[in-house]
Structure 1
Amino acid sequence: MELSLHRLRMLRELRRRGTVTAAAASLHYTVSAVSQQLALLERDVGVKLFERLGRGVQLTELGFLLTDHAEEILGSVERATLALEEAQGTMSARLTAGVWASVASGLLPGALTSLAAEHPGIQVRTRELAPEATAEAVRDGTLDLSFVIDYSDAPMRWDTGLERAVVAVERLHAAVPAGAVPSATVSLDALAEYPWIMASPRSHFGRAIRIACQRHGFQPKINHEVEEQSTAMVLVGAGLGVTLVSDLGLRLLRPPGIDVVALTTPLLRTVSIAYRRTEIRRPALQLVVAAVQTSAAELGLGSEPELP
């Protein structure tokens, strides 16, 4: 019997996620591809690993047994990979990073260009995920590292199994229709009467803005709920409301008809890179972190939280 690591990862995800659909989404495969690979795994081992329950599947007792061993096998493979990287003393590694739009466009181009020039053996692939999903993907081994965010008004709960390296600290700015705010700065409560364009409360960004507004004494009147800062700025440019946008968000394509105004009481957003805590230090990963920190510094974004 020869076990495929690829199929064992799919089995592990099925146990963690509960359904083939959720496992496929976490691994970025189609449902049919995962179903086919799991069926081949069952054929490889020669025992029944799954039972169908309605439209879903459930692991059998032997399926749970193999999954327990899959955790050990995949963990050993990861530890062996890290040990080889360290023993070689050469910078050669393939890493997968979780990103979202503003860090992918603002921080990565400079960081990965300089990394490729100085350490061509390090290959970084990216997957765009919602910021709220990236830390979990690192924890379960889907990603090697991910960008995560923290807001001064809404700090996130941190997983003790992960390490975190701060790479940039951004300010949030008010984006308003041109001419709506005549001064160079504005307090958040002065925007209370405007219609707002905001991410949903399911997102960390959306929750953080709502909390900031509440702390300034008002509930924002939300006319448009959109997730991407670039989309929100298009709506602001059309005169449909106001929003908050980060330093990196401002590096996205900015439409005409917008004024960007500083907040009198700064709202900060800390961008970090999260990775799994291991006994073996991974030099290639640390070089990626350093390259991103350098890229952020070149953009004028510090790596230490700035006091208001």
Structure 2
Amino acid sequence: MLDVRRLRLLRDLSHLGTIAAVAAAHSYTPSAVSQQLAALQREAGVPLLEHAGRGVSLTPAGVALVHHTETILATLEAAGATLAAARTGLSGTLRIGAFPSAVRTLLPPALAAFGRDHPALDLMVTELDPVAMPDQLRDGRLDVALLHDYDIVPVAPDPTLDSTPLLDETVYLAVPADADFDADPVAGARGADWIVGTPGTLCHTVAVRACQAAGFTPRVRHHADDFTAVLALVAAGQGVSVVPQLGAADPPPGVRLLPLAAHRRTRVAYRRGAGTHPAVAAFSVTLRASTDAYLRR
């Protein structure tokens, strides 16, 4: 019989890439992870891993086992959701991941309403860049998360997660109010200084990709990840920046927002099989109502 905990480690290795990363995600030592994977390989009776340089990679049998593991883990999540639905009332802890502009706009009213309706359920919010959330959903540090991508930087579907659409936002180029731009704002900002996110974040990639589509590489002057700070820098004449609708709420004087053709798409994500968990389902409904109310303002 294959051990589910060891199967989870193999699945995580396929996503995280190194034994050290798997160990860090589970608060194990790399040696302990290696021992568990070796035990799984003995249980399987066929090689699951092979050396690749200084690391390891999955064999074809290992890859096939990971596909089965995804189905097994999703079934366990669904079983847990069924048992949770049989209990009376919602209790325990719901761990929520969200990106900064959603924490500032959409989440506060949703948390207040959800807390009133389900006072025995503790809500814990962690602010994260969307790039970091799938790993935390997979390893159980989050139960539900607000993920987003942009149509100009689409993210491939993650086979370990399910999600439902929440919001489709207009994306703007934020420019100083006295700036003069052509019909194509990004092309018109070819010679401008740019304010972009930290390298490695989705916001950084989006700004660079938008400029590349217009035929140039941005001249980056500042790195900032908080849109309030970004807009303050724009108002001070420090450059231009790509800002989505939620991040552009209540811009300061001295900023003009020029709509772009790009859109940011936000969805509510959770582990495969967890969509029917009563806490996840109820929070999704509350969050959607909060989002609709925010958009009607």
Q: TM-score range by the shorter chain?
A: 0.7 to 0.9
1:216 partner amino acid: A
Q: Which residue does the alignment assign to 1:261?
A: 257
Alpha-carbon separation, structure 2, partners of 1:121 and 1:223: 48
Instruction: Give the 3-state SS of the residue equivalent to 1:105 in structure 2.
Output: helix
Deviation track 1:163-187 (CA, whole Å, cap 9, x = no partner) reads 111111211122222322489x863
Alpha-carbon separation, structure 2, partners of 1:241 and 1:234: 10
**Mapping of 1:291-306 within 5 angstroms?**
291-300=286-295
Q: 1:65 to 1:141 in 2, by over 3 A?
A: farther
Q: Which residue does the alignment assign to 2:165?
A: 166
2:214 partner amino acid: H
Given that 1:186 and 1:261 are in contact with CA atoms closer than 8 Å, whether structure 2 keeps it comes out as: no
**Mapping of 1:68-107 within 5 angstroms?**
81-88=80-87, 90-107=89-106
Deviation at 1:150?
Answer: 1.5
Deviation track 1:53-99 (CA, whole Å, cap 9, x = no partner) reads xxxx9537469889xxxx9xx99985664232111253334211112
Q: 1:129 to 1:182 in 2, by over 3 A?
A: closer
Q: Which 5+ residue runs of structure 1 have no aligned equivalent? A: 1-7, 28-33, 39-48, 52-56, 302-308
**Mapping of 1:1-308 within 5 angstroms?**
16=13, 18=18, 23-24=23-24, 26=25, 34=27, 50=31, 59=35, 61=38, 81-88=80-87, 90-181=89-180, 187-251=185-249, 254=251, 256=252, 258-263=254-259, 265-278=260-273, 281-300=276-295
Deviation at 1:122?
Answer: 3.2
Alpha-carbon separation, structure 2, partners of 1:22 and 1:175: 40
Q: 1:122 to 1:267 in 2, by over 3 A?
A: same
Alpha-carbon separation, structure 2, partners of 1:195 and 1:284: 46
Instruction: Give the 3-state SS of the residue equivalent to 1:240 in structure 2.
Output: coil
Given that 1:151 and 1:270 are in contact with CA atoms closer than 8 Å, whether structure 2 keeps it comes out as: yes
Instruction: Give the 3-state SS of the residue equivalent to 2:95 in structure 1.
Output: strand
Percent of residue pairs bearing the same amino acid type: 26
Deviation track 1:233-279 (CA, whole Å, cap 9, x = no partner) reads 23222211111111211247x5x45313232x432101111111117
Instruction: Give the 3-state SS of the residue equivalent to 1:197 in structure 2.
Output: strand
Given that 1:50 and 1:63 are in contact with CA atoms closer than 8 Å, whether structure 2 keeps it comes out as: no
Alpha-carbon separation, structure 2, partners of 1:97 and 1:192: 39
Aligned-residue CA RMSD (Å): 3.7
Deviation at 1:19?
Answer: 6.2
Alpha-carbon separation, structure 2, partners of 1:95 and 1:79: 16
Alpha-carbon separation, structure 2, partners of 1:223 and 1:207: 15
Given that 1:85 and 1:92 are in contact with CA atoms closer than 8 Å, whether structure 2 keeps it comes out as: no
Q: Which residue does the alignment assign to 1:5?
A: none
Q: 1:84 to 1:111 in 2, by over 3 A?
A: same
Length-normalised TM-score, structure 1: 0.70
1:297 partner amino acid: D
Instruction: Give the 3-state SS of the residue equivalent to 2:295 in structure 1.
Output: coil
Q: Which residue does the alignment assign to 2:60?
A: none
Alpha-carbon separation, structure 1, partners of 2:145 and 2:274: 19
Instruction: Give the 3-state SS of the residue equivalent to 2:273 in structure 1.
Output: coil
Instruction: Give the 3-state SS of the residue equivalent to 1:141 in structure 2.
Output: coil
Q: How many residues align?
A: 263
The worse-fitting range, judged by mean Cα deviation, of 227-236 and 239-248 is: 227-236
Q: 1:298 to 1:280 in 2, by over 3 A?
A: closer
Alpha-carbon separation, structure 2, partners of 1:174 and 1:222: 15
Q: 1:201 to 1:298 in 2, by over 3 A?
A: same
Deviation at 1:214?
Answer: 2.3
Deviation track 1:21-56 (CA, whole Å, cap 9, x = no partner) reads 8755x47xxxxxx57xx7xxxxxxxxxx947xxxxx
Deviation at 1:158?
Answer: 1.0
Given that 2:193 and 2:239 are in contact with CA atoms closer than 8 Å, whether structure 1 keeps it comes out as: yes
Deviation at 1:119?
Answer: 2.6
Deviation track 1:117-153 (CA, whole Å, cap 9, x = no partner) reads 2232333211222210102221233211111111121
Given that 1:194 and 1:221 are in contact with CA atoms closer than 8 Å, whether structure 2 keeps it comes out as: yes
Instruction: Give the 3-state SS of the residue equivalent to 1:160 in structure 2.
Output: coil
